[in-house]
Amino acid sequence: MLSTDDVFLLSTELASDARFSRALNEQLRAIYGSPPYQDWLGTVAEVQPFELSDVAAVDLLERAGLARSGRLLAKLNLTEAGIFLTDGVWIDPRVRVFPFCDESVALIGFVRKSGFATWADWTLDLATGCGLNAMAVGGRSVAFDINPRALAYATVNRALNGILGEDCVLAINDIRDGIPKAVCSDLEGHVLILANLPFGPAPSADALPLTSNGGESGGDLQIAAYRAIDRFVRSSKGRLSVRACLMGLSVGDHVANRWDIVERAIEHFGADRVKWHLLTDEHVFRIDGVRQLENPASVAVAMPGLASCRLYTPDEDERIAKVEAFANLAKRHQDRGNPDIAYGIVEIVDAT
Q: What's the one-letter identity of residue 301?
A: V
Nearer to ligand SAM among residue 98 and residue 276 (C-beta): 98
Least distance (Å) from ligand SAM to the CB of residue 224? 7
Nearer to ligand SAM among residue 52 and residue 191 (C-beta): 191
Nearer to ligand SAM among residue 103 and residue 340 (C-beta): 103
**Residue 196 interacting with ligand SAM (CB under 6 A):** yes
User: Among 113, 176, 331, 336, which residue sits at the site for ligand SAM (rule: CB under 6 A)?
Assistant: 176
**Residue 175 interacting with ligand SAM (CB under 6 A):** yes
Choose the binding region for ligand SAM from 38-46, 59-67, 173-181, 227-235 (rule: CB under 6 A): 173-181
**Residue 132 interacting with ligand SAM (CB under 6 A):** yes
Nearer to ligand SAM among residue 56 and residue 170 (C-beta): 170
Are 329 and 203 a contacting pair, CB within 8 Å?
A: yes
Rounded Cα distance, 194 and 142, in Å: 10
**Residue 338 interacting with ligand SAM (CB under 6 A):** no
Nearer to ligand SAM among residue 224 and residue 240 (C-beta): 224
Angle CA 269–273–275, to nearest 5? 115
**Residue 103 interacting with ligand SAM (CB under 6 A):** yes
Q: Which helix (H) or strand (E) holds 85?
A: strand 82-86
Angle CA 195–144–46, to nearest 5? 70
Number of residues that bind ligand SAM (CB under 6 A): 21
Rounded Cα distance, 129 and 83, in Å: 14
**Residue 146 interacting with ligand SAM (CB under 6 A):** yes
List, as one string, the DSSP characters of 195-260: E----B--SSTTSS-TTTB-TTTS-HHHHHHHHHHHHHHHHHTTSEEEEEEEEEEEEEETTTTEEH
Q: Classify residue 175 by burial, with Cβ atoms within 10 Å: 0-12, 13-18, 19+.
A: buried
Q: Which residues of this chain interact with ligand SAM, rule CB under 6 A? A: 98, 103-104, 127-129, 132-133, 145-147, 150, 174-176, 196-198, 210-211, 221
